[in-house]
Structure 1
Amino acid sequence: MALDMNIDELVVIGDFNLLIHQVQGEWATKNDKIPLYVNLAQRLCKKFRKNEFRYTLRAQNEFADVLATIASMIQHPKRSHIDPLRISLKEGHAYYCHVKAEPDGKPWYNDIKVYLEEWEYPEGITSGKKKPSEE
């Protein structure tokens, strides 16, 4: 796809350190199947003006796996420009980002917590909204 889009500089991020060093010609290949893959990758690298390989730990490569999954789900447009994908990383969980803060400054679950701990309804709740007690 990068060749189809006339990309001339490419950064390859991978979590297989052995393969990265083999493609760069730094390490030898011993497995019979790997040299074919390494040779193909090396030939492709020559088609770019500049290419760079970066190693990342597999645990830190989840983002790349997600992007690869997304890329496999969409069709490549027949044009030379694809609008950039804007991604922002959040500190908290995604569901937390969608919960709006309450005007009183307390978390959204505060009334539930108070009820479970003290069996008290929030102020302003009418008797019609209260669940009848089981006596």
Structure 2
Amino acid sequence: MKDEKLKPYQEYLEGIIKNFEEITFEYLPRVNNKFADALATLASMVECSSDAQIRQFMADKRCEPAYEESVNVLTVDGKIWFTPIIDFIRERWYLEHFTVGEKKWLRKYTMQFMI
């Protein structure tokens, strides 16, 4: 083991491996490790006893986008669906046909974005 800080983790894993009927480990390059980091963080938050029954969790690697072609996101007038949101953030401008409720929703919704 190159990193001394990781030795306790390796020893711990070697100890708990005995509790599994089947276990596999796969090296993930650092670039592809975001999902593994999220799972490790989640796992560190869970406490369970050694006799607890834990259901199997399967994750498939995906190397391609889940979609094949672009989705048509244009509205009837030819503008992108989020144009009113951009307009409001930049200029505090509403579409003419917006109701009071739609204006209120737009003000609240746009608070989470910055341009």
The structure with the greater share of residues assigned to helix is 2
Larger gyration radius, structure 1 or structure 2: 1
Please indicate the TM-score interval, normalised by the length of the shorter structure.
Answer: 0.3 to 0.5
Q: TM-score normalized by structure 2?
A: 0.39
Higher relative contact order (CA 8 A, sep 6+): 1
The structure with the greater share of residues assigned to strand is 1
Q: TM-score normalized by structure 1?
A: 0.35
